[in-house]
Amino acid sequence: MSEINFLKGAKEAKDKKPSKREPKKIEWSEPKDYKPEDDYYKTGKNFFGLFSYIKNKEKDNLKNKKIIDKIDLKMARKEILKTIKEAENKKIKEKNKKIFKKLKQPDKKNDKLDIKKKEAKEKRKKINLLAKINEYFNQTKNKIKEFSYKQKSAGKNAIKNKIIEAQNKIIADKIIPAPPVEEAEPIFKDLPHHKIIRDDEASKEKKTFFKSDKVDKISHRPSKNSASAKRINYNIWEKLDVLKTNLITSDLDSYFNWRSKILVLSIAIFLSCLIVVIFYGGLVLWGSKNIILDNGQLDSKKELNEKIIMAENEINQVAVLQKKLKLVSNLLDRHIYWTNFFKFLEDNTMTDVYYASGGFSGNTEGKYSFPAMANDFVAIAQQVQSLGKNDLVEEAATNGGTAGEGGQTSFNLSLTLNPDIFYKKTNNATSTEN
């Protein structure tokens, strides 16, 4: 039997290519309100409705229930939509709050730029205000100058007119001549300007505004030598300080003339700059020399340090060699030289005594015993005495002798020697002694 594929639909679904169609939007249906007019047959007014009224009574009850359920569903849907909208509005409000907080909290990087911009704006405003104030001040100053100049010119003209009127009145009036007596004083009439002069004499400040030369230029005046002219000159022109006028025709602003002093200023600036440059150049040269000296000293220090390091390395090598030499010398000094022992025997043995072979025993501690032959017992005694006198021999003894054939005596010699005899130094000492 052929196999049945129960998952054929799933396989086909896998093999199918994805469709390019967009998914359809879901459209929500809204329930309509129930109207009894729609079910006309239920009322029984219809002819056919009478037959179906009884049968469809239960169905009508079910439909009424369904209508109620639909109304409840509609209300529930509205409530759900309200809750969804409220939730979305809450989310939007939270986002707006976050954005508003971010806007309230400016970036730290831009804070400095904003502060600088504000400071620049404030400076510009201050500069503009100062410029406006200067303009206003200059305008008011010019106006005051013009007004004061007009007042001064008007005051001068008024004083001149008053003086001319007073002189004309004096000329018009009859002057009483002085008596022929020398001591008599001239009599003057009270003129209107005399009151002004008396009031002015009481004032503290006494200034002369016009000289007598100016009076001579005025027309309609008496001669200089006349008494009336002297009286006028004395009373009016020398002590008049009613009006405080300025003899300078125009106000002069005091300012420093830069153009006239520009040469002096330029020379002073040039000299000060030259002094500063000289001092600065001297300091630079002094500093460069010190730097060169410091560099030389540093180089010499480096060379010395390198030499010291090389010497230390050589010293270490020499020290190692010295230690090795000491060890070798110690080894050589402690080396046992048997030749020293045999040479000692040769040097300290008498001619009548000679040593026999065999029976020699001894060690490095200096104790030895060996057989010997002599001509007689006297030779044995002399041999023992000569060995005992030597510094390297600690003890020399014999066990006696035995007379042999041919008139020779044999004996056994025992010696205890200093162990230094086996070393190189003792060898030198023994050679010097001998």
Average pLDDT over residues 282-300: 90
pLDDT at 262: 86
* Under 8 Å between Cβ of 237 and 197: no
Total-model pTM: 0.26
Q: 59 or 257: which carries more pLDDT confidence?
A: 257
Model confidence over 370-382: pLDDT tens digits?
888 888 888 888 8
Buried b (16+ CB within 10 A) or exposed e, 149-173: eeebeeebeebeebbeebbeebeee
Assign 75 a pLDDT band (cuts: 50, 70, 90). Answer: confident
Model confidence over 175-208: pLDDT tens digits?
555 555 454 455 555 555 555 555 666 554 444 4
Three-state secondary-structure class, residue 45: coil
Q: What is the DSSP string of 385-413?
A: HHHHHSTTEEEEEEEEEEE-GGG-EEEEE
* Under 8 Å between Cβ of 66 and 74: no
Average pLDDT over residues 394-418: 79
CA distance linking residue 231 with residue 167, whole number of Å:
11
CA distance linking residue 80 with residue 70, whole number of Å:
15
Three-state secondary-structure class, residue 321: helix
Q: Lowest-pLDDT range, 34-43, 335-344, 383-392?
A: 34-43
Model confidence over 304-317: pLDDT tens digits?
999 999 999 899 99
Average pLDDT over residues 145-174: 67
How many residues in total does the chain contain?
434
